[in-house]
Structure 1
Amino acid sequence: MKKVTAVFDIGKTNKKFYLFDKNFKEVHKEYISFDEIEDEDGHPTENLPALKEWLKTVFNQILKTNKYEVKAINFSTYGASFVHIDKYGNPLTPLYNYTKPLPESIVNEFFETYGPREEFLKNTGCADLSMLNSGLQLYWLKKQKPEVFKKIQYSLHLPQYLSYIFTGIPLSEYTSIGCHTALWDYGKKDYHSWVYNEGINKILPTIVSTETSINMNYNGNRIKIGVGIHDSSAALLPYVRSLKKKFVLVSTGTWSIVFNPFTEKPISDDVNDKDAINYMRINGKPVKATRMFLGNEYKVQVAKLDKQFGVEEDYHRTVKFDYDTYFEIIKDFKHCYKWESIIDEDMPEKTQISYHKYEHAYHQLMAELVLIQIKCIKEALGDDHIARIYVDGGFSNNDIYIKLLSHYFRDKKISTTDASLGSALGAAISISDNKLNSKFLKENYALKKHVPFIVSG
């Protein structure tokens, strides 16, 4: 039987299950998605009972096959989500969705007690205060649902709840605490004083390292069970473990998030900057991060261009970088696009595109988006001397995006990776004793180096 590590990688939409061999190669995968259910206010939320049943069913089926010997299991999930359990281990509330609005009165009351607002946000590495800052959910429950709050034995971050389903042991770990929860004071390296003042610390389980695993007899099998990991931190881990030199990771998708795991100054100086946030590495060290709504804005603007120029909706994928087109644009460069989901001081009052060719308008779009991306990267870098930038996610395959990034950061080494297994692999690596070597990204992530284009005189 092949020895494998099992990983449940739980996204908002797709729930995936992987088996990896000792070299972290995928040997099995299955996935499912559930329709959301509603909480007591009619807000959509995760179908937690269905998720729990699927986890158990899938895992038990794998144990019954005689193809694999499961040596370990771990869990990677989205963050900002709590499961509150009673003394019998049963969930007391729905898994409240981080898109659920918090009552304004609660936020105001919180800041009257624990403000000023900007200082609090910076100390806790948050960009705003809402249900996306899951610690505030505990404050909200205490103030507005005291009868429920009284019954909470433990509040578990979602990755740790999935681990709890298999172990029955309630634990906390750094990556979940550190993802914009408003619980952690990055300066003090401890829970923020409000957590102790409100007695919230009493329902938060013991903090352990994310690399912790529990050796258990599960259905007659000796299995190492991990404590779970937040997906963004999991995606960062293969880089941290396999690279010797400092780097920043630009993880692109709907959001483009720039991670600097080697920061000397985790907290941004600009208290009004809503897009500088913090995460935590598995050992509790801070990760400085900046974000922009890159994929979302790109989708909005490309749909408009498709309509304006009457092209098929996939046409943008065929447009490659063209030096002459780019040179024409930058000769008399001016900003043409008014963004819908990004705020930038350089954007005009309304979109004005004077080009007659789709290719020109598209090059202009990418040039403007990359300029904002550069600001994000520079902010994440701060004063840290880091010479390497890695790009993964959807835009790592966008020829113009990568060519322009390489051009503007001529003094840095730019590489792209295909990290479609990112968070799942990170979860497997976090509980493995195997050391990763410098060839890991090349062998597992299709690592590709990029050189800047030559500027002709």
Structure 2
Amino acid sequence: MTSGNIAVIDIGKTNAKLALVRRSDQSEISVITRPNAALPGPPYPHFDVEGHWQFILDGLASFHTEHGVAAITITTHGAAGALIAKDGSLAAPILDYEHTGPDDLAGEYNAIRPPFAETGSPRLSMGLNLGAQLHWQFMNDPSLRERVFHIVTYPQFWAHRLSGVLATDVTSLGCHTDLWNPFQHQFSSLPQTLGIAEKIAPPRKPGDVLGTITSEVARRTGLCVETPVFCGIHDSNASLLSHLVTRKPPFSVVSTGTWVIAMAVGGNPVTLDPALDTLVNVNAFGDAVPSARFMGGREHDLALGGPAVQAKASDMLEVLSNCSMLLPAVVSETGPFAGHQTHWVGGEPPKGSGQRSAAVGFYLALVTSHCLDLIGHRGPVIIEGPFARNAAYLKMLGVAASSPVVPTESSTGTSQGAALLVAPNEAQQHQIPALTVADKQLNDAFLRYATEWNSSLIKD
């Protein structure tokens, strides 16, 4: 069994990170980041994989020199895959899923994609369904299909570069790709329809060891050539993993970042509605998990419209008193309020103020609470990622969801979750005590605000 420090490649939609996690207590020894800015093309907007690769190699070398690296694992955002040529290089750049190109062939793709009942994947815009990306790429480049020998999901693109081994993983395949049937634990009918069934690499569990690093990676980083490379995992499922192995259901985990993903474990039975951006995720053990999502991190930045100022108690009280509230959706292309136009009611707090931060935090909490309702949430709500440090968000969510809200301490919960792939039985809970609004009068003010916010949605 691997001991020592675990290097985690953590590619989010906004930032690429490399974290070094101490196995003994899952603490983060070091974290470095670089922006994940898409390159404009040609042939289309795509991820800067070569820039990331140099960043990863340099970071691994630095981590190993300073602390030692015993294993490597990977977590990335979903809705991305790599088309691998015969020589192991990319047959085409990795498409940025926010490119609108696939929408040009939406009608043709809709005619061939499997139904929600088969895949648990809602029909999403742009390239958010990986199947739609592949269909669009093959239709726009007739020679591409012949140049592609293998298709891997995004965590396994990095695993392949590190180890030379080809794979996909069940969590990435289960992330609204249209390519996976989470109920039968197998590929959906779409790969056969697209003519790529023989090209997609075999699915593996995220905790499988694919192999060891190549001699070239060992030479470039100084790591031992026997350093194992683990298969890798979709980022929101990395956040979920530690709770699956340390908690008894029911509970929900809310993974926050560019996307806010709410996942219910052991919740009430519900009928998911793909029109509301609810979906079935697949966890690290291959099981289906009812989920809902919206672009909360991006909405946070857009709604603030300026610097983030920590909201004080007095700021929250002023917003509650004035009933100044933001209505959805700041990013109207996705989420349970897709198609709604955002606006302020009760007065718009000035940008750069604590009141603005409080009102935006309340907004994000109320959308999160709505997502939790849609997936049959029960029990405590664990918050992973940057929103775990947003007091306005946490306090409003606890009241709106009528549940204990438990923020985690980690700044990169996805990295610690991915590190657990190396030794899931050694998971430890790194959590701050559950937050509650102890003052009844203040609690009532939060509750009135939440009630008025929901009433305003109906009026709209």
Corresponding position: 1:227 with 2:223? no
Question: Secondary structure of 1:418's partner?
Answer: coil
Q: RMSD in angstroms over aligned alpha carbons?
A: 3.5
What CA distance in whole angstroms lies between the structure 2 residues aligned with 1:420 and 1:349? 29
Q: Which residue number corresponds to residue 253 of structure 2? A: 249
Task: Provide, for residues 398-428 of structure 1, a one-character-per-residue CA deviation record: whole Å limited to 9, x for no partner.
Answer: 3333223323344x33212233121111111
Deviates more, 1:316-325 or 1:223-232: 316-325
Deviates more, 1:231-240 or 1:393-402: 393-402
Letter in 2 for 1:81: A
What CA distance in whole angstroms lies between the structure 2 residues aligned with 1:425 and 1:226? 14
What CA distance in whole angstroms lies between the structure 2 residues aligned with 1:55 and 1:20? 15
Determine which of 254, 257, 262 is the counterpart of 1:258.
Answer: 262
Q: Which residue number corresponds to residue 384 of structure 2? A: 392
Deviation (angstroms), 1:231: 1.4
Letter in 2 for 1:389: V
Contact 1:266–1:278 (Cα < 8 Å) also in 2: no
Letter in 2 for 1:377: L
Question: Secondary structure of 2:420's partner?
Answer: helix
Deviates more, 1:188-197 or 1:366-375: 366-375
Determine which of 411, 427, 432 is the counterpart of 1:447.
Answer: 432
Letter in 1 for 2:90: P
Contact 1:248–1:381 (Cα < 8 Å) also in 2: no
Contact 1:266–1:286 (Cα < 8 Å) also in 2: no
Residues matched between the structures, number: 425
Deviation (angstroms), 1:350: 6.0
Q: 1:354 to 1:147 in 2, by over 3 A?
A: closer
Task: Provide, for residues 52-107 of structure 1, a one-character-per-residue CA deviation record: whole Å limited to 9, x for no partner.
Answer: 344334435555x3x54432111112221121111211111111111112344522
- Where in structure 2 are the equivalents of 1:317-356 lying within 5 Å? 317-320=311-314, 326=320, 328=321, 337=327, 340-341=330-331, 351-353=344-346
Deviates more, 1:414-423 or 1:121-130: 121-130
Q: Which residue number corresponds to residue 59 of structure 1? A: 60
Deviation (angstroms), 1:155: 0.9
What TM-score, normalized by structure 2, do the two folds share?
A: 0.79
Contact 1:414–1:449 (Cα < 8 Å) also in 2: yes
Question: Secondary structure of 1:195's partner?
Answer: helix
Deviation (angstroms), 1:352: 4.1
Deviation (angstroms), 1:321: 6.7
Question: Secondary structure of 1:161's partner?
Answer: helix
Q: Which residue number corresponds to residue 195 of structure 2? A: 199
Question: Secondary structure of 2:371's partner?
Answer: helix
Deviation (angstroms), 1:199: 2.3
What CA distance in whole angstroms lies between the structure 1 residues aligned with 2:48 and 2:274? 37
Q: Which residue number corresponds to residue 370 of structure 2? A: 375
Determine which of 116, 130, 148 is the counterpart of 1:134.
Answer: 130
Question: Secondary structure of 1:146's partner?
Answer: coil
Letter in 2 for 1:272: A
Contact 2:311–2:358 (Cα < 8 Å) also in 1: no
Letter in 2 for 1:287: V
Question: Secondary structure of 2:4's partner?
Answer: strand
Q: 1:138 to 1:72 in 2, by over 3 A?
A: same
Deviates more, 1:279-288 or 1:105-114: 105-114
Q: Which residue number corresponds to residue 275 of structure 2? A: 272
Q: Which residue number corresponds to residue 33 of structure 2? A: 31
Question: Secondary structure of 1:88's partner?
Answer: coil
What CA distance in whole angstroms lies between the structure 2 residues aligned with 1:25 and 1:227? 21
Deviation (angstroms), 1:251: 2.7
Corresponding position: 1:18 with 2:19? yes
Letter in 1 for 2:433: K
What CA distance in whole angstroms lies between the structure 1 residues aligned with 2:27 and 2:406? 22
Corresponding position: 1:429 with 2:420? yes
Contact 2:6–2:21 (Cα < 8 Å) also in 1: yes
Deviation (angstroms), 1:246: 2.6
Contact 1:160–1:172 (Cα < 8 Å) also in 2: yes
Letter in 1 for 2:244: V
Q: Which structure 1 residue ranges, 5 or more long, are not aligned? A: 307-312
Contact 1:3–1:21 (Cα < 8 Å) also in 2: yes
Contact 2:206–2:421 (Cα < 8 Å) also in 1: yes
Structure showing greater Rg: 1
Q: Which residue number corresponds to residue 120 of structure 2? A: 124
Contact 2:183–2:288 (Cα < 8 Å) also in 1: no
What CA distance in whole angstroms lies between the structure 1 residues aligned with 2:310 and 2:111? 49
Contact 2:100–2:127 (Cα < 8 Å) also in 1: yes
What CA distance in whole angstroms lies between the structure 1 residues aligned with 2:368 and 2:162? 41
Q: Which residue number corresponds to residue 213 of structure 1? A: 209
What CA distance in whole angstroms lies between the structure 2 residues aligned with 1:230 and 1:429? 13
What CA distance in whole angstroms lies between the structure 2 residues aligned with 1:348 and 1:143? 34
Determine which of 397, 404, 408 is the counterpart of 1:417.
Answer: 408
Q: Which residue number corresponds to residue 310 of structure 1? A: none
Q: 1:374 to 1:49 in 2, by over 3 A?
A: closer
Deviates more, 1:236-245 or 1:364-373: 364-373
Deviation (angstroms), 1:267: 5.8
Q: Which residue number corresponds to residue 3 of structure 1? A: 4
